[in-house]
Structure 1
Amino acid sequence: MGNSNQKITTFLMFDGQAEEAMNFYTSLFEESEIISIMRYGANQAGKEGTVLRAEFSLKGQVFMCIDSNIKHEFTFTPAISLYVTCDTEEEIDEVFGKLSQGGEVLMPLAAYPFSEKFGWVADKYGVSWQVTLAKN
């Protein structure tokens, strides 16, 4: 399902939650799937069973992710976010609602001068999402 011509891929680094996050994200959007998962094995650098490297797609856009085997002093930041254009009111309400659960709303779902309906949220994993309603 992924786009084999894609030359630049968004890469997400998690701290033990990569597979959980992929399952969550692919459940939010139709035409989405986990493409591949390589896991750390016994006696490897990362915790056995966590994600060494994985690829998943959301609506045909391919993403990569890992569970870092190193504890870093940084995590995700809203300075970079995933921007989603939703086709219907129902879709934007559902996506924003699910992404907000356990996360932090950065801008509530509302009308803004630049969008009829828009919201910005950092999900429970710290990944930042901007969702907007497609213009009619």
Structure 2
Amino acid sequence: MPNHIAPQLMFEGNAEQAMRFYVSLFDDSEIVRLERYGPDGPGKEGSVVQAEFTLAGRRYSCIDSHIQHPFSFTPSISLFIECENREEFERLLEQLSEQGEMLMPPDNYGFSTRFAWLNDRFGVSWQLNLGTTRPGLSGEAP
């Protein structure tokens, strides 16, 4: 059995900046481990070989890939945040969307009283949700 399973975010030079930004947004968040490349590479000196951090108590990993890839982040995998109140929703929306791209602007889409989907300045996709309005659903696991 695996030790643990955590999402791995691959950046190309700004992993530490992104990780520090994310940790600043959520309570119960911290950088757990940060390993940087030295002068002998293979990555750029000071870039992230491997890092581990928590967001709201959940574990994530990130790297700075020293290999150029023809791909980056995609919205088909996103970080979903169930906001406790409208103030939290608006704060996160403002901070995460700064220099980012709005995929679904904040609105009531029928499945939620307030929902937004965006890519942040680093290309990571986030879904923000405030409350649900799904009549007839029990919320029970199958």
TM-score, structure 1 as length reference: 0.93
1:118 maps to 2:94: no
What CA distance in whole angstroms lies between the structure 2 residues aligned with 1:23 and 1:44? 23
Which of 125, 128, 135 aligns to 2:125? It is: 128
Q: Which residue of 1 aligns with 2:66?
A: 69
- Deviating above 2 A after TM superposition, structure 1's stretches of 4 or more consecutive aligned residues are none
1:103 and 2:100 aligned: yes
Matched, 1:24 2:16: no
Task: Supply the AA of the counterpart residue of 2:33.
Answer: S
Letter in 1 for 2:83: C
User: Which runs of no fewer than 5 residues in structure 1 stay unpaired?
Assistant: none
What residue is the counterpart of 1:56 in the other structure? 53
**1:110 corresponds to which letter in structure 2?**
D
Q: Which runs of 5+ in 2 are unaligned?
A: 134-142
Q: Is 2:44 the counterpart of 1:47?
A: yes
CA separation in 2, counterparts of 1:63 and 1:104?
A: 23
**Which has more radius of gyration?**
2
Scaled by the length of structure 2, the TM-score of the pair is: 0.89
**% same residue:** 49
Q: Would you say the 8 A contact 2:111–2:132 is kept in 1?
A: no
